[in-house]
Homo-oligomer: A and B are copies of this chain.
Amino acid sequence: MTHARGMKWWGWGDESVAFTHEDKPDLGPFIKRHIDLDVDQAAADRVAFEDLPIPEPSLPPSLRVALQGAVGADQVSTGPLDRLVHARGKCLRDLVRHRRGDIGRLPDVVVRPASEEEVEAIMRAALGVDAVVIPFGGGTNISGSLEPPEDETRAVISLDLGRMNRVLEVDGASRIARVQPGVFGPHLEEQLNARGWTLGHFPDSFTHSTLGGWIATRSSGMQSDKYGDVADLTRAVRGVTPAGILATRPVPHASTGPSVREMVLGSEGRLGVITEATVHVHRLPERRTILGYLFPSWSEALAAMRDIAEGEASPSVTRASDAPETKFSFATKKDPSLLDRVKSGALAAYLKRRRGYDLDAMCLSFIGYEGTKDYVAAQRKLVGEIVGRHGGLCIGSGPGELYDQKKFDTPYIRDYLLDRGALADVSETSAPWSALPALYDDVMAAGRRAFDDLGVRGYLMCHLSHSYHAGACLYFTFAFKPSGQRDSLEEYDVIKSAIQQTFVDSGATLSHHHAVGTEHARWLEEDISAPGVAMLRALFEGIDPGGNLNPGKIIGPRPEPAESSVAERRAGGTLG
């Protein structure tokens, strides 16, 4: 189950899977209309692997010997493809640059430990020669959490956790399991399901990402409304740090100072290497269903999600697309499309005449339920009443089942577009319920302004992906065909930055579950304030004074003394 080996170096996922428009009659015309892209013309060549400028690794012989001593010679790899696949994650910038042959600073070596003791030996070897350690799970991060700094002069070790992939123990009475960090989503569920349990964590990256990666980036999954985000699911962590083996206890709540467990969550390898986690498990539910709903407008859909989050229903999934995403969803359906049926059939007539729907404003929603038969029935009823109050109606389980089956294929669309010369990416955030309508309007306006400024036709769409008591996650997706007037990544930056800046300007967060990495680091201080950044810096520098652990992620190097800095504050610059 070392899926990462099978990952494309130039794109997402398995070589054997690809997205296509050919079985989706509405999609080609939709793409042509909205981003002026002819899907029948493959446009963008990518550099052949043989032509990539892969340098020789810079690995001190003593380090090679130490690493081979730690994990065995066959688990120490300096092969070009291995180093290339471990060089970056899968953010749009990563894919574009790799496809161009701009491969950046590759790690010098990939090592694959099989145990915590081996991780400890690697850490000791690395710190002994002042090398850099970058933990690697599935390599799916889309925020730049994996790439070595361009100018890194020390040896760089990619520490691939793929061999540490077992469920070590299920404590059924406590409903927790001890799990190794390198296990991929499907393999983890397979091991748990065999004993009647599930973790219930299903991010879009599920098939190619790992438990350790989820923890290191504070991941959320599709059913996190019920099971909790990975921060809720993770009861305890173990890890190898420069200060020794960190081990927190799998207790349900503790008052032991600031939570050390929470410091590991989202730490992106800056504190060490996660070697084990104790996570919540749930019994496989008796029933599981995802129903489709339609709402007359985005504002009604949002309001319904808000009311559901307050009420006594506890659905496992709450998802609501805006009108542009609803249109896109309908355009990706196979023949005969759902939109055809809606538009041509009795349902459309009913929606328009009896319910007063404007079909252009209509929003598609999915709500999931899990539990016993009675519980699911009661939840559906409670949700149905709220949906009805907001002018919505249930369209049954067909669309939801289809969505459920296809949800992990979404990331492949990016490669499909890249192959044809178009760029697509996502930005997600969270905010209080009261802020969401204006946040949405502001992001849509900022995106459209960015498209206009660049002179490109672009498409921007959104869905609410997770609901909480006090707010929700909005997940934006955009696509455009670069103008050809400048570097396409420059144009990408204009759009992505406009959206991210609008998030932080609107009181929202820079990311709900995609992490900071290098892509979002410049908005961190606006999000968590300068003292918040100082707290992270104090933590990282205190545990890793040499900056050996995934340097440059989350927060950059300490700023020059001229700027406001912790050093200055220590000297009394701010309050002292």
Contacts and interface: CB of A to CB of B under 8 A. Distances in A.
A527 B458 CA distance: 53
Contact of A257 (B128, B176, B260, B524): B524
Contacts of A576: 124, 127-128, 242, 546
A260 B277 CA distance: 21
A266 interface: yes
Interface string A527-560: 1111110111111011101100000001100000
Given A262-B259, A542-B541, A569 B243 contact: yes
A399 to B, nearest CB: 26
A508 B256 CA distance: 12
A229 interface: yes
Interface of A: 120, 123-124, 127-128, 171, 173-176, 217-220, 229, 231, 235, 240-260, 262-268, 271-272, 280, 282-283, 306, 310, 312, 314, 371-372, 375, 378, 429-435, 466, 468-473, 507-516, 520, 524, 527-532, 534-539, 541-543, 545-546, 554-555, 566, 569-570, 572, 574-576
A433 B253 contact: no
Nearest to A574: B244
Contacts of A529: 244-248
A509 B243 contact: no
A256 B433 CA distance: 20
B531 A252 contact: no
B542 A511 contact: no
Contacts of A524: 256-257
Q: Considering the complex of A and B, which 8 residue pairs feature the smallest CB-CB distances, nearest first?
A: A538-B542, A252-B468, A174-B432, A262-B262, A252-B471, A246-B531, A173-B434, A260-B532
A312 B471 CA distance: 24
A433 B173 contact: yes
B263 A175 contact: no
Contacts of A468: 252-253
B531 A538 contact: no
A257 B516 contact: yes
A435 to B, nearest CB: 7
Contacts of A240: 575
